Structures are given as structure tokens and as C-alpha cells.
């Protein structure tokens, strides 16, 4: 029987707010067994870019990453945000290690090609995750804290979507562990009514997802998040949950399953 492992992805709105981050990390520290934390940090990157006089360009919620913006996100994601999370976890008794995909060559990607006339710049789409090396860290008691940066093997860092990275890490580690993937954000789960926190949709299957999409119940940034969740389940991840950051480990939220 495989050992249980939890992969938690937490968004920028959580990690960039001290109180919500503290609640998330308390819950994360209480999780039993090996675990991995993947984080975002987009608002901090935007704020830092503004301070440096660098304009931010977004297309459908995705950041255009030119050379100047790549320097910003590398500093913010791999430095400021990542090391702040690591330090707080160490204070909570968690033996955390901050990583990007370039460290130990754990996540390699390729630069996203131009699509529909849109050049995203130094944005990476994941090619592979080295599950064996991550498993070695986990088996030695280390808790990886992964920033949303990968590399192409040619010396270039690439800005990579944190939701996607969490899904790819979970899928790769499923060969070694019984994996639960948890996406934490500011809501109780996927909501049937955006302004009603009690309207949590308890279960989403591929069939339900298509219906919710057609009805416009889920839209925008929730669409790629759910697509990542369904892809993870299809690839062998045991459980996928979307829940509120301070409800981590409480069994609340929306469960994603094949049926």
C-alpha cells in the first residue's frame, strides 16, 4: 500500500495576506505524513513591478513575461514569497525547503509558443517532473515548498502557472504515493452562486463540469483550475479537493472525481 501524500496549492491572495497565510500554514503544519506546498504570488509581483516602473500586461489572467518581468517574478516568487513561507513553516516545526523547478532539475518546461498572435514571453509549459528526486526529499523528511518557476534546461528560467505546477507534481508523485491534491483559496469551494459561500458544489465530475460550464456557473479562472483538477484525477491522483485555506484538512469544499 502506498504512503499517503498531500500536495497543497495556495494562491497569491492567501500567501500575500499575513493573517490568511498564518491560518493556511497552521493547517498545513498539522497535516500528517509527507506533503508538498506549491504557491503563487502574482499580486506581490505586480506591486513590485509597479515600484520598478515595469508595466504589467495580462491576457485572460495570464501574465506576459518579458525579460524585465522575468527578473521581477524570479525575485518575488523564488525569493521574497518563497522564503517567507519557508521561514514561517520552520517556525511551525515543519522542515521546509524552498525550491523552483530549476533546483535539482525537478521541473523542466519549454517556452510557450506564440498562439493566436499572443507571445507570452518567458512563460513555461511543463514537460516533466522528476518524481524520483522529489520522493527522495520527501522520504528524508523534507517538505518541498515550490515557487511557480521552472527552467528549460538551457539556462533559462520560465514563469509557470502555479495551478498547473501543482497538478503536474501531484500526477508525477502518484507513482510513488497515494496522493491527495488540494487547491486552497479564499472561498469555501466551487460556488453555485458567486455571492453565497453556502452554495458549495460538493462534487464535480467531467459530466457535471461540462454542464456547469455551459450554464455559466463556472467561468474565468475557475475553468482552467477545474480542467487541471480533472486531468489530475484522470492521471491517477487519488483525491482532488478545492477548499478554503483555513479549512485545510477538515474535509470541506468541492471534491473532483471521475464519477
pLDDT band at 53 (very low <50, low <70, confident <90, very high): very high
Three-point CA angle 56, 59, 61, nearest 5°: 85
Model pTM?
Answer: 0.94
Rounded Cα gap, residues 105 and 108, in angstroms = 7
Over pLDDT 70: what percentage of the chain? 100
pLDDT at 62: 83
pLDDT band at 35 (very low <50, low <70, confident <90, very high): very high
pLDDT at 60: 74
pLDDT of residue 12 exceeding 80: no
pLDDT in tens, 229-254: 999 999 999 999 999 988 887 878 99
Question: What are the φ and ψ backbone dihedral angles of 258, each rounded to 5 degrees?
Answer: -75, -25
pLDDT at 247: 86
Rounded Cα gap, residues 83 and 91, in angstroms = 12
The mean per-residue pLDDT over the stretch 152-161 comes to 97
Which domains does the chain possess? 4-256 (3.40.1160.10)
Among positive and negative, which fits the CA dihedral 160, 164, 168, 170?
A: positive
Amino acid at each position: 500500500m502506498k504512503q499517503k501524500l498531500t500536495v497543497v496549492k495556495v494562491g497569491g491572495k492567501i500567501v500575500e495576506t499575513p493573517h490568511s497565510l498564518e491560518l493556511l500554514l497552521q493547517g498545513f503544519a498539522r497535516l500528517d505524513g509527507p506533503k508538498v506546498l506549491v504557491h503563487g504570488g502574482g499580486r506581490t509581483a505586480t506591486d513590485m513591478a509597479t515600484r520598478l516602473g515595469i508595466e504589467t500586461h495580462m491576457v485572460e489572467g495570464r501574465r506576459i513575461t518579458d525579460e524585465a518581468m522575468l527578473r521581477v517574478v524570479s525575485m518575488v516568487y523564488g525569493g521574497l514569497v518563497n522564503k517567507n513561507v519557508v521561514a514561517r513553516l520552520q517556525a511551525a516545526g515543519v522542515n521546509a525547503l524552498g525550491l523552483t523547478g530549476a533546483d535539482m532539475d525537478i521541473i523542466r518546461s519549454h517556452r510557450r509558443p506564440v498562439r493566436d498572435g499572443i507571445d507570452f514571453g518567458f512563460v513555461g509549459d511543463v514537460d516533466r517532473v522528476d518524481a524520483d528526486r522529489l520522493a527522495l526529499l520527501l522520504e528524508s523528511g523534507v517538505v518541498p515548498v515550490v515557487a511557480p518557476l521552472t527552467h528549460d534546461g538551457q539556462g533559462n528560467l520560465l514563469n509557470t502557472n502555479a495551478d498547473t505546477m501543482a497538478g503536474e507534481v501531484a500526477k508525477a508523485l502518484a507513482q510513488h504515493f497515494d496522493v491527495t491534491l488540494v487547491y486552497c483559496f479564499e472561498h469555501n469551494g466551487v460556488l453555485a452562486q458567486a455571492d453565497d459561500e453556502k452554495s458549495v458544489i460538493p462534487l464535480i465530475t467531467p459530466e457535471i463540469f461540462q454542464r456547469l460550464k455551459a450554464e455559466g456557473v463556472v467561468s474565468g479562472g475557475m475553468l482552467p483550475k477545474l480542467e487541471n483538477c480533472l486531468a489530475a484525477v484522470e492521471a491517477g491522483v487519488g483525491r482532488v479537493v478545492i477548499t478554503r485555506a483555513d479549512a485545510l484538512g477538515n474535509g470541506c469544499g468541492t471534491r473532483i472525481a471521475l464519477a
